[in-house]
Amino acid sequence: GQNIDQPTEMTATEGAIVQINCTYQTSGFNGLFWYQQHAGEAPTFLSYNVLDGLEEKGRFSSFLSRSKGYSYLLLKELQMKDSASYLCAVRVRSGYNQGGKLIFGQGTELSVKP
Amino acid sequence: DTEVTQTPKHLVMGMTNKKSLKCEQHMGHRAMYWYKQKAKKPPELMFVYSYEKLSINESVPSRFSPECPNSSLLNLHLHALQPEDSALYLCASSLHSGGTNEKLFFGSGTQLSVL
């Protein structure tokens, strides 16, 4: 089966740095995505990793270790508007001749306090 | 235009009703998706269309019937739903369904309540 784990909730302080971890056990791994979702809104794309290492995009960075089945999302200089759910999603190859499908983890609810 | 537009935003229906959810994108994407999301849960894949053909059906009950009239439009026809089908239904699109780094663009969803 496919399994993606991330913490349910995290709390951090405005201006601080927070790291949200994601571990996965999937067959046919074909890339890992991070999405942000505010309550009642659509998920929005944050970052993507398919090779090991760190990808940096402004205040957001994402890391991947395929051998460990592990990724993290690092958020720097936290702002109140960063309070949201952060979804780790793994693309897995399907049995079809297409690239596969995106499976989401449970999401981590991040609360940023003043 | 980088939007995926879903209508209606909210829908209340009885268990004997027939209704349809609509999704539209004009980004030239050739893959479109339906996801279902319950409160405080992750989105769960229901269907994938690739080049207007159904390529993935995640064993969804037949009371949900998808349709892709053309590359820009995706519908989800609903009939004889159950109260447990109440959820946020998200439409998404990507350039293709085959690329490893293709991100999904999501619509704002239709919040469905089945009474």
Q: What string of H, E and C letters represents the secondary structure of B2-65?
A: CCEEEECCEEEECCCCEEEEEEEECCCCCEEEEEEECCCCCCEEEEEEECCEEEEECCCCCCEE
pLDDT interval class at A17 (50, 70, 90): very high
pLDDT interval class at A96 (50, 70, 90): low
Residues in A lying within 8 Å of B, measured between beta carbons = 30-31, 33, 40-45, 48, 50, 87, 91, 94, 96-107, 109
What number is the average pLDDT over the span A23-34? Answer: 91
Whether the pLDDT of residue A107 is over 90: the answer is yes
pLDDT interval class at B98 (50, 70, 90): low
The answer to whether the CB of B106 falls within 8 A of the CB of B94 is no
Tell me the chain B residues in contact with residue A97 when contact means C-beta distances shorter than 8 Å: 98
Q: Cβ contact (<8 Å) for B44 and A102?
A: no
Q: What three-state secondary structure class fits A8?
A: coil
What number is the average pLDDT over the span B19-47? Answer: 93
**pLDDT at residue B13 in the model:** 94
- What's chain B's average pLDDT? 92
Minimal C-alpha gap between A91 and chain B (Å): 8
Between CA A88 and CA A73 the distance in angstroms is 9
Between CA B87 and CA B99 the distance in angstroms is 29
Q: Cβ contact (<8 Å) for A48 and B43?
A: no
Q: Cβ contact (<8 Å) for A87 and B109?
A: no
The residue of chain B with its CA nearest to that of A41 is: B108
Out of B2-6, B14-18, B64-68, give the one with best mean pLDDT: B64-68
**pLDDT at residue A29 in the model:** 87
Tell me the chain A residues in contact with residue B106 when contact means C-beta distances shorter than 8 Å: 42-44
Whether the pLDDT of residue A76 is over 90: the answer is yes
- How many CB contacts within 8 angstroms connect chain A with chain B? 62
Q: Cβ contact (<8 Å) for B45 and A102?
A: yes
Whether the pLDDT of residue A84 is over 90: the answer is yes
A interface mutation test: which of B34, B46, B104 has the most A CBs within 10 A? B104
pLDDT in tens, B25-36: 999 999 999 999
**Which pair of tokens denotes residue A99?**
């690239």
Q: Which percentage of chain A shows pLDDT scores above 70?
A: 94
Q: What three-state secondary structure class fits B83?
A: helix
- Give the burial class of B93: count Cβ atoms within 10 A of its Cβ; 0-12 exposed, 13-18 middle, 19 or more buried: buried
Whether the pLDDT of residue B84 is over 80: the answer is yes
